[in-house]
């Protein structure tokens, strides 16, 4: 097996493992086997929705961060800290130089495994919600 394929499979396995652990903790905390079928389907819906939305939001945050949207916040925080350090203002650099340096230091990662696994768990949560809505929701 190629090294790249092995790495990709490992990344997906770790993502699905983390999400399965979160789903198990949600199921365990709500007491899955103690209620009726309708409540159990709601618990399954929550158990798959929570890790799905967390990982999807994490993937979005990683994408935004890799595009350089948070560099301005880092620049401001750095300058605030340098203000309180004696002779810290001597290390001041312009925002354009700071942004160029940070973008050159940033490595481009392919973190699609986080997004894909998050969307899989999110879709499972939506499916369980639809099953509950169709079978058990009484108007």
- CA dihedral over 32, 34, 36, 39, signed as positive or negative: negative
Residue 94: give the domain boundaries.
Answer: 69-105
Judge whether 138 lies within some domain.
Answer: no
Q: What is the DSSP letter of 35?
A: S
**C-beta of residue 131 within 8 angstroms of C-beta of residue 47:** no
Model pLDDT, residue 139: 57
Model pLDDT, residue 98: 86
Q: Looking at the structure, tell me whether residues 40 and 92 fall in a common domain.
A: no
Q: Looking at the structure, tell me whether residues 58 and 118 fall in a common domain.
A: yes
Q: Looking at the structure, tell me whether residues 23 and 85 fall in a common domain.
A: no
Structure pTM? Answer: 0.79
User: Which of the residues in the chain have pLDDT under 70?
Assistant: 88, 139
Model pLDDT, residue 100: 86
How far apart CA 116 and CA 75 sit, in angstroms, is 32
Phi, psi of 85 (to 5 degrees): -95, 130
């Amino acid at each position: 097996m190629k090294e790249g394929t092995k790495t990709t499979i490992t990344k997906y396995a770790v993502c699905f493992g983390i999400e399965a652990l979160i789903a198990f903790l949600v199921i365990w905390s709500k007491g899955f086997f103690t209620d009726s079928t309708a409540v159990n389907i709601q618990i399954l819906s929550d158990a798959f929705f929570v890790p799905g939305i967390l990982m999807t939001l994490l993937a979005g945050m990683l994408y935004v961060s890799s595009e350089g949207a948070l560099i301005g916040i880092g620049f401001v925080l750095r300058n605030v800290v340098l203000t309180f350090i004696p002779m810290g203002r001597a290390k001041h650099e312009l925002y354009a130089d700071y942004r160029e340096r940070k973008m050159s230091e940033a490595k481009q990662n392919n973190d699609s495994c986080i997004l894909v696994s998050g969307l899989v768990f999110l879709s499972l949560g939506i499916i369980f919600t639809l099953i509950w809505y169709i079978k058990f929701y009484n108007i």
